[in-house]
Structure formats: C-alpha cells, structure tokens
Chain A
C-alpha cells in the first residue's frame, strides 16, 4: 500500500521553511539541518503516522520543535563537560550581517527558556494561532498565552539591560 504522504514532495516543499524554523530554535545552521533531516527520517520510518497529507507539515513542525529542544538540551549538558569551542566551519549566514536592533533581539531570544522561545517563534514567525501553538507544543491555550506574555517581558528586560549596558560602554569610550 502507498504511504499516505509523499515524503519527497514534502521535503522539496517544506525543507527550507523547517530549517529556518529550526535555526530560530537552535541558533546554528548545521544543527538546524540535522534537526530537519531527523524529522523527515522519522516520518520516512512511519509514513502512515500521518493519514491526512494536509497535516504532514504540522506533524513535521512538532517533530522539529521537539528535536530542537533535545538538541539544545544535549548541547547544554555537553558544554558542561567540555570547554566551549566551535570547530565547525563558518555557516553561510555567519558572514551576513543582521541589523543591530535585530541582533539584539536574537541574542535576547537565546537567553529565554526553550519553551518561551518556542512560543515566541511559533507566534511571531510561524504566525500560528494560540490553538495551533497549543497543539504543536502539547500545552493548553492558557499556557500559550501566559508563556508568551512572560517571554515578552523577559525579552524586553534582557534587551533593555543589554542596550543600556552597551550605551554606557559606548559613552565611556567616547569620553576617553
């Protein structure tokens, strides 16, 4: 029997978007590609897990979010055992430049708890509704709402702190 979904077609259609989603969650390109490959491989192993082709993207999105969280957890714990260093070659986007205000947001985003970051990315980049985010993360809509609110507050606080600190440093340098 043919599987319910055509994985090759899904791969061609959604891989870029899913890698971008993963990049926003795990911060580095190589890991993001791995996360997405893992997600497609999981679907390839169980193509019948998705009966309705229209739900395949949602299934992959859940897989990417969960795998990203696992990757972050592994990386965080592994760093406790080894000195931080990065031997991987520079990723394509390393050479590109984010606007300063955007970079400040992305840096602040990285300081949030994984669940908070997931909610913000799914809401403000994937443009999912609260109900869709709740289904993706396996939490209630109320939790989505409260997590988003707390995440924005934390993000604002971090950005304010960083920008104030940067401003003071810059002023000091100008005085010298």
Chain B
C-alpha cells in the first residue's frame, strides 16, 4: 500500500518516476503506421516524372520506349506542395455523425464504388473537422482526408465528378456554416485520391467557385454593399458554378436581386497539379426556382420602377390607406400648416404637420420604410412637384416622424450639383424610388430603404439597375436601354 510522500523532495522524486513510468508505457511499436506529415513531393520529384525523363533519354539513344502513352491518373501524380496540402492522419477514433450519409463513388477508378464515411471531430458546437475515410476496393488499403466544412452535422456529398477525366471520381462536399445566415457564401470541397490520400483540391479562382451572396470586394459603403448571386452544382458528372453578371445591392435584410438575371456559367476541370480551373464562361438565365438557356435578348429584369402611385388626397379628404392590410386611415385637415391625422392600430389620431405647399398624401403607403408594423405616408406638393416627404410611425407608436434621406442620392426632383436630373416617386407597389440621369440618356434607378436603428429615422437609396424612359415624367414608358 502506498503512502503520501513525506517531503517536497520525495514528492518531486515520485512525480519524476511516475511520469517516466507513464510515458514509457507508450512503446515505439505501439505507434500507428501513419504517413509522415510532410508536403507532397513537387511534381518533378514524382517517380512518374523521373520515369518520363528517363524515357526521353532512352528515346534519344534510339531505344523505343513504350508504355507511357495515355493520360496519367491523378492518384499517380503529385501536386505542387504550395497549392495542395497533405491531410494529417488524425481522427481515427472520431465517431460517425448520425446525421451524415456515407457517399458511394469510385475513388480509385477500378469500377467498384467505395463507401466513404464521415467522422466528426467532437466539439461542443459541432464545428470541428471531418475525417473522410474509406477502404479502397483496388488495394484494400485505408485512405482518408481531413476537411473543415464549418459543421460536422449532416455531412452529405454532392454527386461524384471526374474533373480530370482520368476515369476515377472525385468526392464533392460543401461547407455548411451555421452562423452566416441563409445566403452566406459557402464553397464546394473537392477531394481527389492522390498518392493514396484524399487530398483537397484548390481553386485557381476561388471567388468564382462559391455559392450564396458573395460580396464584391471594395463595394461596401456606409449604407449598403454589392454582391453577386452565386451557386454551384454537379451537372452530368461535372462541377458547375454560376455567378450573376450584375452585382446587386443589399442592406440589412434587404437585397435587390431581381427575379430574373443573367449568369455566367463555369464548368470546372482539374489540372494535373490538382488545381480546379474554370472553363470559358457560358450563359444561363436565372428564373425563380430554375434556370434557362440564354437567348440573344436575355437580360436582367428591369428595376421595378415602371409604375407610379398617382392617387392622392388633399385638405378635407380622408382615405383608407392601401398598406397591405395594416388597416390605417388618414385625413388631411386644414390649418397653418395643414396636418395629416392617422387612425388605426396603435395610432389614435396621431397628427403630423405637413409643411409643404398644397400637401397631397398618396393613397398607397410606402410600407417598406416602416421599421415595424405602423402607418406610413408618402407626401407630395400639388404646387411644387420637386418636394416629397416620407412620414412614418415610430416603432413605439408614439407618433409620426419624417424620415431623413442620407447618402449620396438626392430625394425629390431636381438637378444635382453635377448637372444630372433626378426624379423621385412612389411606385404602385408602394416602393419609394429615385432615378438619376446618366450621361448617355439612361437612368440609374435607386430604391429607398430604412437604415440605422429604428430610432434614427433615416433612409438611404440602394442602386437598383439601369433603365431608359421615353419620358421620365411617365414611368410607364420605362424600357431596356
């Protein structure tokens, strides 16, 4: 029976001997036969390349050397170490995530599909690495790869591809970040069998090989940024990605991608170094829930600015607002100045002074500019068509306030300091827009959205595309340029 050490020196001696004894339980023969965690050889050091070099020498000597014809398989070619990384052999004891489905594909090109399992690194947030492993049917040897997919929950493969057309298949997974929102960018992860390991291919153009709303670098302003709508899929055994030709604006939860837009379509191949390379761009048109082939006149939807709300009320009139069923009424009462009086849910006679000459209130509400359910008014002047205001109910429904336009786009109608005409109106759908004349006669369309907090009462304009008008005073004459 052991007893506690008597002195500190005894304790230190005991600790030394215990640590030594515990460490020596790990014997050299216990170590697993794992691959050395070293970079793959440069391609010129590959035995196949050396063999090919030897063949050239033999040919020079007049010896016919046969047998090297045909395309080499990717698992026989070492990629460049600065681009493709050898996976460390970790995670052999991780467990298969129950939410993941094994993939079946022919990794080694022998005509027999391997069953590939996904083992999850245990972490509290399920955001660890995933070990991808299988036993090769051609050799009976285990192969593995290690990837970071953002989440270890529900790892599933897309259909297999043969991006290097060498007869074996590559495994396609995709990142699955849990914290980026529904449109956060995500990428495919392509694993190729190389020198017995599942090695992650790298992309020569990663910005093109991504899905979701991919931000345009450098596009960020105080109130919005631009993004390309992108996607990727496996189509007929090929990895395909698409990207909207136009970049669209977004601010907070609002993003201005039209329903129909033209996309560049890229088909990806893998070169002998294990690098994914995009082919020449083709053309597709995104339509809701699908895509179609491009035609000669394919284009993005025009910005939805080709209608105008023209029905208004003035002093002494009252109307039930078209506000999407919120149920507000407004009347304009005489006074100095006249005032708008709003009744409805949470608004019992809220009053707002209309300091425009001959004020008119649109019968349609600019509902997009209310931060929560509440009344909203689009106010113009019968005698001065350059003036326009948006009035909204506060979030706590304490009263009505006027929204202040912020940013570079003027609100109303007039001419900018640089001599460009602009005009603002409310569309038939209750969207507040401004168009600004371009140098070539086209008009830039801008759409107003709330920015800042619910208490700052600010709105800013987001770019919404280009349109041409026969007569800008009549938005229904809008057409493609």
Contacts and interface: CB of A to CB of B under 8 A. Distances in A.
Interface of A: 7-8, 11-12, 15-16, 19-21, 23-24, 29-34, 37-38, 40-41, 43-45, 47, 74-75, 77-78, 80-82, 87-88, 91-93, 96, 98-106, 109, 120-121, 124-125, 152, 155-156, 159-160, 163-164, 166-167, 170
A166 B103 CA distance: 52
Given A120-B15, A125-B19, A155-B15, 12 more contacts: A8-B38, A16-B26, A20-B23, A24-B23, A74-B122, A92-B26, A102-B17, A102-B21, A152-B11, A152-B12, A152-B15, A170-B1
Contact of B18 (A23, A45, A78, A106): A106
B14 interface: yes
B61 interface: no
Contacts of A12: 36
Contact of B31 (A16, A80, A81): A16
Q: What band does the interface of chain B fall in when counting residues whose beta carbon is under 8 Å from A? A: 35 or more
Given A11-B38, A37-B37, A102-B21, A93 B14 contact: no
Interface string B7-45: 010011011111111111111101110101111000000
B124 A80 contact: yes
A31 B92 CA distance: 9
Interface stretch (B81-89, B157-165, B172-180, B184-192): B81-89
A122 B475 CA distance: 77
A131 to B, nearest CB: 19
Contact of A156 (B11, B92, B124): B11
B2 A163 contact: yes
Given A15-B31, A121-B19, A170-B1, A30 B93 contact: yes
Contact of B22 (A8, A102, A159, A166): A102
Contacts of A102: 14, 17-18, 21-22
Contacts of B30: 29, 91-93
Most chain A CB within a 10 A radius of its CB, from B17, B21, B27: B21
Contacts of A81: 124
Give the dominant DSSP class at B's interface.
Answer: loop
A129 to B, nearest CB: 15
A24 B32 CA distance: 18
A4 to B, nearest CB: 13
A101 B18 contact: yes
B128 A74 contact: yes
Contacts of A47: 39
A105 B17 CA distance: 10
B19 A167 contact: no
A107 to B, nearest CB: 10
Nearest to B3: A163
Contacts of B384: none
Contacts of B38: 7-8, 11, 40, 44
Contacts of A23: 22-23, 25-26
Contacts of B87: 41
Contacts of A106: 18-19, 22
Given A92-B30, A160-B4, A37 B12 contact: no
B19 A124 contact: yes
A112 B4 CA distance: 17
A155 B30 CA distance: 29
16 contacts: A30-B93, A31-B93, A37-B37, A41-B37, A43-B37, A44-B39, A45-B85, A93-B26, A98-B25, A101-B2, A106-B19, A124-B19, A155-B11, A159-B5, A163-B3, A166-B1
B123 A37 contact: no
B481 interface: no
A53 B187 CA distance: 37
A91 B122 CA distance: 19
B123 A78 contact: yes
